Amino acid sequence: MKFPRAASTAGKGIRALGISTEATPTRVRAFSSLGVTSTNTGACSIKATTTTATKLQQARQTCLRSPSCRRTPFTPHSRRTYASSSSSDAPLSKTALYDLHLAHGAKMVPFGGFEMPVQYSGLSVSASHHFTREKASLFDVGHMVQHRFEGPGATAFLQRVTPASLETLPTHQGTLSALLWPGTGGIVDDTIVTRLGPELFYVVTNAACRDKDLAYLKEQLAAWDGPEVRHEVLDKWGLIALQGPLAEELLTQVLEDPAETNLRELYFGQSRFAKVKGGANPVLISRAGYTGEDGFEISISPADTVAVTETLLDTAGPEKLQFAGLGARDSLRLEAGMCLYGHDLDDSTTPVEAALGWIVGKDRRTPASDADKFHGADVVLAQLTPKSKGGSGVIRRRVGLLIKGAPAREGAEIVSADGDKIGVVTSGCPSPTLGKNIAMGYILDGLHKAGTEVQVLVRGRSRKAVVAKMPFVTAKYYKGTAPA
């Protein structure tokens, strides 16, 4: 995969992301109990250590007892708090853009341990949703956890904890995946994994799962017996999502060298380092998002986050670009058929049950040995195999629903014509784009096919519903025609 003059910016970009181009860090302090050394940048160098299966199970049970692993109680959409599933008495954190949100009239709410904007004055959630679909919106996603994994064992380690095919993943290409529990194949968290070099990966995980994910990764790294892996959390780094049909036009306007960073040659899932106006350091631009629209996620150094964001907003102007909050983000992602961890995904759900079987790489489905297996492979691969061919199949599957009458919210029961419970709604809202009530949830296998008529209990009343294909709104990802 070729990028114009990629070599001229790659080194600067890697250094800007806090990634040393030196072979070995110079300062370390030891954590002898885990066999972990921490560099002066916070990276962890994991040596060959062993952890017993009992300790792994104890760590897993500790995480499962944590509130961050549990689905949040259902609250009606009109009163939805957007509270994180990881409740804590600790004070809420703030992203680098907190003051900028307030200056733009944001209503702040707790989410993922942060104070985050749910909407902005003068723009309803529905209006913000439509603005994103028609023009472009800017979302602050700096609460999410950005990681880097580096070293000769990085590929193999990430292939142990996820079912992704990373050995064949090209440089500057990303893929949706999931961290999985050993033994069960349950989803610890969903994640995006991007290869930035032969031994270098950029990974993004959810804010609400931060404590659980970091405990999981610490335990898995301590148990790792392969080549060295260094892990660093990019704390304080900014992350913004520019989404909508005008996204490419608006981002091009702030590039220092639009000819060098030709966004027409950057396809969905790909990334690139580039200099943008307002920032001293290169940013990492990934063509991705959580809305179903074309767009970009931009990782920015702490010193540049506010300036780069202000430059984007000021250059575009309010007629083309507006801030958008959690309210619009939620309805946009649901129309796009995308999962929200803690609601549509949890530790007890496997990728196959979640209709995410496609994230299991083709070359990961026939492991040559136990060493080649990802966590939970025996369970997940059996679920992928039809019962007619000796597989186990699944009991339930994630589906989309179109519902007549009042909208169904999380926790609403899905029932058969006879009144038997056959599933549960995990997310639901009125669709601003379609003018219909949409939802997703889990239903018994065999009843999951599109067109199946069911009923949903909404406030004690039965509402007609039909299983529908997702996404509800056609995705507009820019895939272009990849160069030879």
CA 243 – CA 293 distance, rounded (Å): 6
In a domain, 458, yes or no: no
In a domain, 432, yes or no: no
Q: What is the DSSP letter of 451?
A: T
In a domain, 259, yes or no: yes
In a domain, 159, yes or no: yes
Q: What is the DSSP letter of 359?
A: G
Same domain, 60 and 165: yes
Long-range contacts at 40-44 (CB < 8 A, ≥ 24 apart): 41/232, 42/232, 42/233, 42/235, 43/148, 43/150, 43/230, 43/231, 43/232, 44/221, 44/229, 44/230, 44/231, 44/232
Whether residue 159 contacts residue 359, with contact meaning beta carbons closer than 8 Å, is answered with no
Q: Which residues are annotated as a binding site?
A: 297
Same domain, 150 and 226: yes
In this structure, what CATH number is given to the domain that contains residue 131? 3.30.1360.120
**Residue 379's Cα: distance from chain center in Å?**
23
Same domain, 135 and 149: no
Domain carrying residue 256:
81-141+239-324
Q: What is the pLDDT of residue 480?
A: 86
One pLDDT digit (tens) per residue for the chain, 484 residues: 332 333 334 444 444 444 433 333 322 222 222 222 233 333 333 333 333 333 334 444 444 334 334 443 323 233 344 444 444 568 999 999 999 999 999 999 999 999 999 999 999 999 999 999 999 999 999 999 999 999 999 999 999 999 999 999 999 999 999 999 999 999 999 999 999 999 999 999 999 999 999 999 999 999 999 999 999 999 999 999 999 999 999 999 999 999 999 999 999 999 999 999 999 999 999 999 999 999 999 999 999 999 999 999 999 999 999 999 999 999 999 999 999 999 999 999 999 999 999 999 999 999 999 999 999 999 999 999 989 999 999 999 999 999 999 999 999 999 999 999 999 999 999 999 999 999 999 999 999 999 999 999 999 999 999 999 999 999 999 998 644 3
Same domain, 183 and 261: no
Same domain, 89 and 222: no
Could you give phi then psi for residue 186, rounded to 5 degrees? -65, 155
Same domain, 191 and 286: no
Residue 257 Cα distances to 9, 11, 263, 277, angstroms: 11, 17, 11, 10
Q: Which residues are annotated as a binding site for substrate?
A: 297
CA 38 – CA 27 distance, rounded (Å): 8
Q: Encode 212-249: b = buried (16+ Cβ within 10 Å), e = exposed.
A: bbebbbbbbbbbbebbbbbbbbbeebbbbbbbbbbbbe
Same domain, 44 and 166: yes
Same domain, 97 and 116: yes
In a domain, 273, yes or no: yes
In a domain, 386, yes or no: no
Same domain, 61 and 150: yes
In a domain, 373, yes or no: no
Same domain, 281 and 300: yes
Same domain, 212 and 247: no
CA 139 – CA 392 distance, rounded (Å): 41
In this structure, what CATH number is given to the domain that contains residue 218? 3.30.70.1400
Amino acid at residue number 79: R
Same domain, 157 and 227: yes
Closest CA to 381 of 396, 361, 395, 401: 361
CA 257 – CA 299 distance, rounded (Å): 18
In a domain, 410, yes or no: no
Structural domain tally of the chain?
2
User: Which of the listed residues 272, 289, 324 is the one where a domain comes to its end?
Assistant: 324
User: Which of the listed residues 300, 324, 348 is the one where a domain comes to its end?
Assistant: 324
Structure-block tokens of residue 325: 């909050």
Residues present in the chain in total: 484
User: Which of the listed residues 195, 218, 233 is the one where a domain comes to its end?
Assistant: 233
